[in-house]
Structure 1
Amino acid sequence: MPTSDAEGKDWSLARHTRHQPATVTDIGPGNGTYARLMRPAYRGVWWTAIEIHKPYVRKYKLTATKTRLDAYDEIHTIDARTAPDHLFHRDLVIAGDVLEHMPRQDAVDLVHRIHAAGAWHILVSVPIVESIQGETEGNPHETHLHQWDQDDMDQVLTSLGGSLEAYYGNTLGVWWWSRR
């Protein structure tokens, strides 16, 4: 679904506030959960969205305007797996409830590309319980193709080096990876 469970969002917001990134790329924003959560808390941040399903851009009003500042400054309607690396050269890249929508190896490769492109921080959120989901709202990209568990994602992110913080809820796992 283009929405996300509320679990771990306060934890994520606290890290965003602590690190205060100036540039953010949100992969698969769906209805814009992270921009709506984080933009009001800390102004002056340039937000980029990579959204594979073009109808969501209009439906969820993802484009920022003079009167709507809790959305995205820049939107690319492309598959993150083929997105140009410069979109990942950001202070923060968010993969919030998106990596389960691709085969595991594609997700691992994407995380490694984000790291190699120079992201300073990476925020990942995925279901850590069985979460079967098919096409939603006519979007085949909403299908869950891999079921993550906390140990698997821990290993993927610790392989990058740097530092890692994690939150394990009843449904979601959330990780904040940093270069330092």
Structure 2
Amino acid sequence: MPTSIAEGKDWSLGHFARHQPNTVTDVGPGEGTYAKLFRPAHNGIWWTGIEIHKPYVAKHKLKSTKTRAMYDELHVEDARESAEHLFHRDLVIFGDVLEHMPREDAVALLAKAEAAGCWHILISLPIVEAPQGEVDGNPHEAHVHHWDADDMDNVLAQLGGSVESMRGETLGVWWWSRRR
């Protein structure tokens, strides 16, 4: 769904406020959950969104010329095919998106963000069985891979850097940081 449950959002906001990134790429913003949550915490951020489902752009007002847009730059495309420079940011957010692709694609996308030079990666995803099919005509909403929290720990460990995590009842949330 283009939304996310509240679990882990306060934890994520605390990390965001502590690191104060100036450039962010939000992969699969849906209704813009993270832009809505984080923008008030730190002004002057350049927000890039990569949204695969074009109808969400108008439906959730992700890019608007009449009012301040949630995203300064918006790309309607599959992030797996996005240019590497879109991941060269202070923070790349994968909020409830990696479960919508095969595991090997998700791992490759995380590696792409790390290789592009991002400083931090925020990941949120279900860590319980959460079957889901197409939603509102969007086939990209189907859950393709069920993540185990320990598996994500191992994937992020392979990227190097440092990792902090929070495991809730439904969601796991990770904050990966490049070692300086």
- Both proteins in one fold, TM over 0.5: yes
Give yes or no for the alignment of 1:151 onto 2:150.
Answer: yes
Distance across 1 between alignment mates of 2:66 and 2:7: 30
Distance across 1 between alignment mates of 2:64 and 2:16: 20
Over 4 Å off, 4+ runs: none
Q: Which amino acid aligns with 2:98?
A: L
Distance across 2 between alignment mates of 1:139 and 1:67: 26
Give yes or no for the alignment of 1:40 onto 2:40.
Answer: yes
TM-score (norm 2): 0.97
Matched residue, 1:52: 52
What secondary structure is seen at the aligned counterpart in 1 of 2:80?
helix
Matched residue, 1:163: 162
User: Could you report, residue by residue, the CA deviation over 1:9-58 in whole angstroms, capped at 9, with x for unpaired residues?
Assistant: 01000000000000000000000000000001110000000000000000
Distance across 2 between alignment mates of 1:111 and 1:67: 32
Distance across 2 between alignment mates of 1:30 and 1:13: 18
Matched residue, 2:9: 9
* Segment of structure 1 superposing worse, 10-19 or 60-69: 60-69
Contact 1:64–1:73 (CA under 8 A) maintained in structure 2: no
Distance across 1 between alignment mates of 2:140 and 2:129: 18
Aligned positions of 1:65-84 closer than 5 A: 65=65, 67-68=67-68, 71-84=70-83
Identity among equivalent positions (%) equals 70
What secondary structure is seen at the aligned counterpart in 1 of 2:71?
coil
Q: How many residues align?
A: 179
Deviation at 1:68, TM superposition (A): 3.1
Distance across 2 between alignment mates of 1:105 and 1:135: 21
Distance across 2 between alignment mates of 1:65 and 1:161: 40
Deviation at 1:67, TM superposition (A): 3.7
Matched residue, 1:20: 20
User: Could you report, residue by residue, the CA deviation over 1:112-136 in whole angstroms, capped at 9, with x for unpaired residues?
Assistant: 0110011100000010000100000
What secondary structure is seen at the aligned counterpart in 1 of 2:4?
coil
Matched residue, 2:89: 90
Distance across 1 between alignment mates of 2:102 and 2:9: 25
Matched residue, 1:132: 131
For structure 2, the residue ranges without an aligned partner over 5 or more in a row are: none
Distance across 2 between alignment mates of 1:108 and 1:131: 20
For structure 1, the residue ranges without an aligned partner over 5 or more in a row are: none
TM-score (norm 1): 0.97
Distance across 2 between alignment mates of 1:164 and 1:149: 16
Matched residue, 1:109: 108
